[in-house]
Amino acid sequence: MAVARSGSCSKSFRFETEARALTLLKDWLSPKQRASYERFRYFDVVGSHTGTRYRIHHGTQTNIEEISGTGQHVCKWCFVPDGDLVAGDVMLAQKIALETNERGALAVAHRSFVSSGPRRF
């Protein structure tokens, strides 16, 4: 009789959830955003109110970078939807929020400034 190891079902479920979330995210990305995500694990969006460019990196927190008009890093932003969501779902929510209600998203976000040294995401 085979016995499943503790946690094996939850790991399998989590893996499937992550895969489905990334598929959904990619379906919502433009061809340019999708190509960027598949190559670099980030994609850019434009804020609905200010036209500011944001770079959403793969991740679930402090994964949004504000980019200046000259392409320089300005700051990092962190806002996430409620719940224990996987990265694909968080990034999709961030994309939709910035593209449709930038002011509302930034009103609840945490803004941080980092040194101009090498960035690691």
Q: For residue 33, which of 55, 8, 6, 14 has the smallest C-alpha distance?
A: 55
Give me the phi and psi of 71, to 5 degrees please: 85, 10
pLDDT digits (tens, 9 = 90+) for 38-97: 999 999 999 999 999 999 999 999 999 999 999 999 999 999 999 989 999 999 999 999
Region 19-34: what's the mean pLDDT? Answer: 98
Question: pTM (2 decimals)?
Answer: 0.84
Torsion angle, alpha carbons of 112, 113, 116, 120, to 10 = -10
DSSP assignment of 28-51 equals HS-HHHHHHHHHHSEEEEE-TTT-
**C-alpha to C-alpha distance for 96 and 46, rounded to whole angstroms:** 10
